[in-house]
Structure 1
C-alpha cells in the first residue's frame, strides 16, 4: 500500500448548491457521505436548483445548509434559519429566487439540470457546446439530468488535493484557490507531492479511514468555482487558469478543464479528519 496523504478537510452539502459544513468525521455509505446532497431546490418546471446556472440559481450560494439531529436547517442570506419541512422556508426561497420553488428530497421524473456554457475552451465538450442555446435569462446553457435517483451530477464523492491547488496558485497568484470554491467532500493534504497526481489514480482504489473507494474519473469543472462563495469573491480568472493549466481527457468527450477526481464507494465506513489515505 502506498501513502497518498491525509484527510485535511471533510465537507458535505445537505442541500444541493447551498454552502455546506465542515465535519470532524462522517459515515460514508454506498450513496456517498451520509446526508450529502439529500435535498435540492426545485422550481415549477422541474429544474433542479444548481449554481451551474448562476443567473437563475446563483442566490443559493448565499444560503448555508447543515444537518443536525436528523434535521437539515437552512440559514438564509439575512441570517434567518428555517428547517426543511417548514413552509416558511419554501416561501423565503421563493422570494429569494423570484419564482415559486420548494425544497425536495427527490427529483421529479421530468427534472432537468441546467448548466451555463463558459466561453473558454475546455469548459464543456464540443458536442455539448454545439447543442447549447440561450434561455430567457440571456445565458447560454445546456440541459441534462442528475444521476438517476440522486441529486449528484455524477460521482457520489469528490476529492481534491493540496498539491494541485498549490500549482494553480503558482500560475495565477492573484486568485484565491480556497478549496471551498470547488465544493469537495474530501481535501487531501499531499504535502510536497506533485500536482495533479490524482489523474493517475483513475481505476485505482483508495483506502480512506474505514472506507474504500474506486477512483472513477477526473472532475470536469463548471462555472461554480469562479462565483462568490461566502466571503470568497467572484473571480472568472479561477476557471480560466484551470482551463489553461489542466485540461485532460475525460471518457470519450475530449479534453476538459479538470480539478480533482470523482470516487465510487466500494466499502462503507467512517472517515475522520487526519485519516491516512493509501
Structure 2
C-alpha cells in the first residue's frame, strides 16, 4: 500500500550542526550517506561527543558536502559559522572557535562512507517524521514547529493526513523507493527540541508540550534492511 512520498531528506554531516537538506543520496547500512560522519569528542567527558546539550549554538553551524558522493571517501565538507566564516573540515580555526565558545578541549573525529558507528547516531539508523504529525503538534503547542528541531532524516508527506499514524507501523517494513527499512519504535525526546535551529534560542515549552500531550514521543526510529538510492518525491510503500 502506497502511503505517501518523501518530502525532505535531511542529514547531519557534523553531529549537532544544522541539517543539510538534499534532493537525493544513498542509504547505507548505518543510515543516510555521511549522516553524523563527523563529530567532536569532548575530552572533558571521555568517550562523549560535544552536542547541542552542551552548546546550543552548534545548530547555527551549517555543514554540507561539496562534490560527488563516493564510497572511497567523503566529499569535501564545507562549514559556515554563525558569524559567516567559511571553514573546511580539518581547519584548525574551526576547532579553536568551538573550544573558545565551550571552554573545552575537543578532538575532531571522522568516519568513512562505509562505516559510521551507531554510537555517533546514538539510537538507530534513521529517524522519520510526518507532515500530519507536525501539523498536529503545531495545534497542540500553539506555534509553528520547525521540523529540524527533531533532527529527523526523512520527512514523509502522507496521503492520509492522520497524525501519528506512523506509530502504528512498528514491526512493519516500509519501502522508500527501492530502499527497505523496518519501523522500530518511538523516539523519546530530550531538551534539544527546545532549541530553535535557526537562531539557537531555547524555549522550554515545546518539550513540556510533547511530554504532556505525547508521552514525550515524537518521530519514529527505523533500521535499514536494504540499502540503495533515495530521492525527494519517491513513493513510500507499507509492505507488511
| TM-score range for the pair, normalised by the shorter chain length | 0.7 to 0.9
Whole-angstrom CA distance in 1 between matches of 2:200 and 2:105: 28
- Tell me which residue corresponds to 1:180: 148
For structure 1, which runs of at least 5 residues remain unmatched after alignment?
107-146, 248-256
- Per-residue Cα deviation, 1:23-65 (whole angstroms, up to 9, x for no partner): 00110011110011001111223331121x2xx2222122111
Question: TM-score with structure 2 length normalisation?
Answer: 0.87
Residue 173 of structure 2 is aligned with which of 183, 191, 205?
Answer: 205
- Tell me which residue corresponds to 1:122: none
Whole-angstrom CA distance in 2 between matches of 1:100 and 1:89: 13
Q: Does 1:267 align with 2:231?
A: no
- Tell me which residue corresponds to 2:138: 169
Q: Conserved in 2, the CA contact under 8 Å of 1:59 and 1:96?
A: no
Alpha carbons of structure 1 residues 88 and 233: separation in structure 2 relative to 1, 3 Å: closer
- Per-residue Cα deviation, 1:70-122 (whole angstroms, up to 9, x for no partner): 1212211211111111222211221222222132126xxxxxxxxxxxxxxxx
Task: Say which SS state the counterpart of residue 101 (structure 2) adopts.
Answer: helix
Q: Does 1:103 align with 2:108?
A: yes
Q: Where do 1:234-245 residues align within 5 Å? A: 234-245=202-213
- Tell me which residue corresponds to 1:67: 65
Q: Conserved in 2, the CA contact under 8 Å of 1:162 and 1:191?
A: no
Cα RMSD of the aligned pairs, angstroms, is 1.7
Task: Say which SS state the counterpart of residue 149 (structure 2) adopts.
Answer: helix
Whole-angstrom CA distance in 2 between matches of 1:261 and 1:204: 12
- Tell me which residue corresponds to 1:25: 24
Question: TM-score with structure 1 length normalisation?
Answer: 0.76
Q: Alpha-carbon deviation of 1:149?
A: 5.4
- Per-residue Cα deviation, 1:129-185 (whole angstroms, up to 9, x for no partner): xxxxxxxxxxxxxxxxxx955401111111001111111112222x22121111111
Residue 91 of structure 2 is aligned with which of 64, 86, 89?
Answer: 86
Q: Does 1:154 align with 2:153?
A: no
- Tell me which residue corresponds to 2:36: 37
Task: Say which SS state the counterpart of residue 4 (structure 1) adopts.
Answer: strand
Q: Alpha-carbon deviation of 1:260?
A: 1.1
- Tell me which residue corresponds to 2:2: 3
Q: Conserved in 2, the CA contact under 8 Å of 1:8 and 1:274?
A: yes
Alpha carbons of structure 1 residues 9 and 80: separation in structure 2 relative to 1, 3 Å: same
